[in-house]
Amino acid sequence: MSASMDPFSATSSLTLPDNSAYKLRRVRVNRDLPTMSDLTSFQQLMSAEEDMQSPSPHRDSILLPSIASATELQDYNLVSYLLPKLSAKDTPEELVRLAIGAGVDMYKIYYSNSPTIIDYQWQGLGDVVCLCLARGNIDLLRYVLSIGADPGRSLDSIRWAYIFLPVEFASYGSCSEPPSALQLLIENGALVKGTYALQLAARFGKLEAIRVLLEAGANVDGLPETAFRTFHSRDGTKRDVGVDFHRVEGTALHLGVTGGSLEVVKLLIGHGADLEALDTNGHTAIMRAREAGHLKIVEFLEEQKNK
């Protein structure tokens, strides 16, 4: 087979590395790489390739950046046509990240083409649930939970930045107000007890998140449990990550007084928070409030103590 017979050879200016090591983001910034955005042109190329005895070796070098561009531009028709034409067995992770950023309709196209993307995880970023939370994309979060994504059912679930379970991230991050994401996670079976969610909500003054967590059964005086998990990357490497909050933290009330919100403190006391509970340094909430200089909180807690 000569190069002149290959319909893709005229549009390809480079040969990409093996797909297992292929980094899409690196290629996408190369403005010399030709991309195509015309569905008719691709259909003509594919029709011409059918006359060849084997797939073109140049095909993916054109399709990958073109799919990336079409994904970002939310060209659903072009993405729907091109994704199944890739010769790569697995959809590249960077393409899936672009699909997550493009929204629920684009992700549905990718999922329909390759259902295994629901299990993808990105080193340091977590899985699709974590990325939905980071982007504040509630519609996509609702969809991926409906098709079986893990909302964080156990302490071994995938974590954002190796540290925060989805319910913890949703309790304090930009997606915590209103607490729609947190409610979705809990409705789909996210673990609440034994997590650090209530402490985080208290520390950052997230009143609605605190109410949602308490209604879901969070222990107002509970300490988070230690969780060890192994990160399995798609290149085969493994990394053990341990998270032990017992060494440095306390109850939600301790974190609430540190955050300085009197409203949070009142809410926790109203739900029976223990004034005499000790943090991991042996301090009560009143001691921490006094150290932080939150005098109104100190006054309130002293009044509660003397009742």
Domain ranges of the chain: 59-119, 220-306
The pLDDT of residue 88 is: 81
Question: Taking each helix axis from N to C terminus, what angle separates 138-146 and 180-187, rounded to the nearest 10 degrees?
Answer: 0
Average confidence (pLDDT) per 10 residues, the chain, 307 residues: 45 38 36 55 71 66 86 92 88 95 97 96 92 94 98 91 90 78 96 93 95 96 68 51 54 95 97 94 94 96 92
Contacts 24+ apart (CB under 8 A), 174-177: 174/136, 175/133, 175/134, 175/136, 175/138, 176/201, 176/204, 176/206, 176/208, 176/209, 177/206, 177/208, 177/209
The pLDDT of residue 100 is: 97
The pLDDT of residue 223 is: 85
Q: What is the Cα–Cα distance from 167 to 213, expressed in whole angstroms?
A: 9
Question: Taking each helix axis from N to C terminus, what angle separates 180-187 and 207-215, rounded to the nearest 10 degrees?
Answer: 10
Q: What is the Cα–Cα distance from 202 to 172, expressed in whole angstroms?
A: 8
* CATH entry, 220-306, from 1.25.40.20, 3.40.50.1820, 3.40.50.2000, 2.102.10.10: 1.25.40.20
The pLDDT of residue 13 is: 39
> DSSP 3-state assignment of 73?
coil
Cβ atoms of 81 and 114 within 8 Å: the answer is: no
The pLDDT of residue 173 is: 78
First to last CA, the chain: 90
Peptide bond into 178 cis (omega under 30): yes
- pTM of the predicted model, to two decimals? 0.80
The pLDDT of residue 37 is: 59
The pLDDT of residue 62 is: 77
The pLDDT of residue 129 is: 97
